[in-house]
Amino acid sequence: MALSLVTIPCLADNYAFLFGNPDTKEAVLFDVPEAGPINEAVAKSGWKLRTVVLTHHHWDHIDGLDGLENCDTLQIIGAKADAHRLPPLDHAVSDGDRIQLCGEEAQIIDVSGHTIGHIAIYLPESGYAVTADSLMAMGCGRLFEGTAAQMWDSLQKLRALPAETIVCSGHEYTTGNAKFALSLEPNNSQLISRSEAIAAKRARGEPTVPSVLADECATNPFLRADDPVLQDAIGMTGSAAAEVFAEVRARKDRF
């Protein structure tokens, strides 16, 4: 049976993701921006939280860990490459590893770029990818540690997942990301339509995360660096995709 998802707003604009197995009532949490909303969500779900997966070392993804209920009994999983700056890990993982989470096999994908050692977790049976600050709704994470070439490589890994994959990204940045995308292609009808849908959701107080990978592939400029239409729009027709990505990322940093 597919895992069930609870999306948990935290801090000003972060998200944590709680997945539960409807049969066993076992749960796994991805990232811990703050403990209060997560403890409340776990209690409301009726699930038993047993595992926490940390995608990367930034404070707004790990600082709530010590405040979780029964934190001493939880299995903590994170990247081996990032272990020196994560809380103590019970299980360190690397790109290509396969682990069991709530009875489902999960695949570990290195998505370095935002940070070195950032991981994404793909749950093929349930159809989810937890991408945190790598691939984001309508955007991607700022390059604090990695290079543009690294991030472009990471995003291509995620783009290759099935189109119906549900992308669980770490922040409510979608409105600003959509405005930036439209600044590159103001006449793109798909962008206009998605931007209007995003605005309507936010007007209703609804999150724009998770999103569907097919929508990201169609409208997220950071996944379209090899798209001739986008290349033409920014005056880089025929340029190498990694160079186009670097230019788009630089423009977003200045936006």
Catalytic-residue membership of 61:
yes
Q: How many CB atoms are closer than 10 A to CB 41?
A: 20
Catalytic residue among 60, 82, 110, 118: 60
Catalytic residue among 57, 61, 82, 110: 61
Catalytic-residue membership of 60:
yes
Catalytic-residue membership of 133:
yes
Catalytic-residue membership of 118:
no
118 is in an annotated binding site: no
Catalytic-residue membership of 58:
yes
Catalytic residue among 57, 58, 110, 118: 58
Catalytic residue among 31, 82, 110, 133: 133
171 is in an annotated binding site: yes
60 is in an annotated binding site: yes
31 is in an annotated binding site: no
Catalytic-residue membership of 57:
no
Catalytic residue among 57, 82, 110, 114: 114
114 is in an annotated binding site: yes
95 is in an annotated binding site: no
84 is in an annotated binding site: no
Full 3-state SS string of the chain: CCCEEEEEEECCCEEEEEEECCCCCEEEEECCCCHHHHHHHHHHHCCEEEEEECCCCCHHHHCCHHHCCCHHHCEEEEEHHHHHHCCCCCEEECCCCEEEECCEEEEEEECCCCCCCCEEEEECCCCEEEEECCEECCEECCCCCCCHHHHHHHHHHHHCCCCCCEEEECECCHHHHHHHHHHHCCCCHHHHHHHHHHHHHHHCCCCCCCEEHHHHHHHCHHHCCCCHHHHHHCCCCCCCHHHHHHHHHHHHHHC
State the Cα–Cα distance between residues 52 and 57, nearest whole angstrom: 13
Catalytic-residue membership of 91:
no
Q: Pick out the residues of the known binding site for Zn(2+).
A: 56, 58, 60-61, 114, 133, 171
Q: Pick out the residues of the known binding site.
A: 56, 58, 60-61, 114, 133, 171
Residues serving a catalytic function are: 56, 58, 60-61, 114, 133, 171
